[in-house]
Chain A
Amino acid sequence: MKITQTTRSSQQGKARLSSIILLFLVLSGSWLLWSGLYKPLLIGLGLFSCLLSTYLAHRMGFFRHHKALLRQLPKLPGYWLWLLKEIVTSTLDVAKIILSPSLPISPTLVELKTLPKTDVGKVILGNSITLSPGTVTINLSDGKILVHCLTQAGAKDLEQGSANRRAAELEGKVK
């Protein structure tokens, strides 16, 4: 069974009922586990918020992307470890810059081609770049990503493209 709407359909896409139910069950399960209180009022509120979240996810077009997301899920922890290492080193760099009296910044714009093919991969790449201090994604469109860097050294690191490659590897051999 397919649920479609004529308005906003470009955003929402088509969603299979089974995926919607799966998301609802996952949300309810985690709500029950983390609430730990089983009074009727609270369970009612939980059900309401799960329904609302599912509806909002559908409205935002989550079900166009969830397959790509699920495919990348097993590889995410390894990616996070690598990202954590990057975050630690760039945090030290930025802290040093902020605390040094001469404030040695050299703001630079870098435009990169995104290696990840799926929307989910692109979002992961953009958010990873923003997450590591010293680089902020300011635009992402047409397979290109515009990044503002605090220093030219940071811009050079980014142009080497290790983040780009890692994010693309997350997708494996999709397409």
Chain B
Amino acid sequence: MIDLVIDVLSWILLILGGSCVLIGGVGGLRLPNFYTRIHASSLTDTMGNILIFLGLMLQAGFTLATLKLFAVMLFLLLTGPTATYALANAALLSGIKPDTGSTNDDNTEESPK
């Protein structure tokens, strides 16, 4: 009985995590320019990551594997934003203007705004 409950719970978490990743992907396609697209990827990075790893931890039960999964989740959560920062900062330094609202990347550099 308790196994079934845990199984159902972990599948709910996995499915929610999967849909977070999917929504992040949809956002990456729908949002108009570089800086807004980063926001979509942070959805995948953060919530998708947490939910999928929680689901996997429930599948693994009280084992060393759970501890390892938790550690991997933590490391991803610590390094993910650092990578995002590196990307966003590189874009800023190379001159992509972040304040040109909802236009496409193609006309951000030439447009007189």
Contacts and interface: CB of A to CB of B under 8 A. Distances in A.
Interface of A: 34, 36, 84, 87-88, 91, 94-95, 98-99, 103, 105-107, 109, 126-128, 130-140, 146, 148, 150
Contacts of A87: 46-47, 50
B9 to A, nearest CB: 17
B43 A133 contact: yes
B30 to A, nearest CB: 6
Interface string B88-102: 110110000011011
A94 B39 contact: yes
Where chain B touches its partner, the secondary structure class is helix
Where chain A touches its partner, the secondary structure class is mixed
B30 A103 contact: yes
Contact of A109 (B84, B91, B98): B98
Interface residues of B, number: 37
B77 A98 contact: no
Contacts of B82: 127
A91 B46 contact: yes
18 contacts: A94-B27, A94-B40, A95-B23, A98-B23, A98-B30, A98-B40, A105-B32, A105-B36, A107-B35, A107-B101, A130-B42, A133-B47, A134-B42, A135-B39, A136-B39, A137-B88, A138-B85, A148-B98
Nearest to B96: A138
B106 to A, nearest CB: 17
Given A88-B47, A95-B20, A148-B35, A139 B102 contact: no
B56 interface: no
A109 B98 CA distance: 8
A21 B93 CA distance: 38
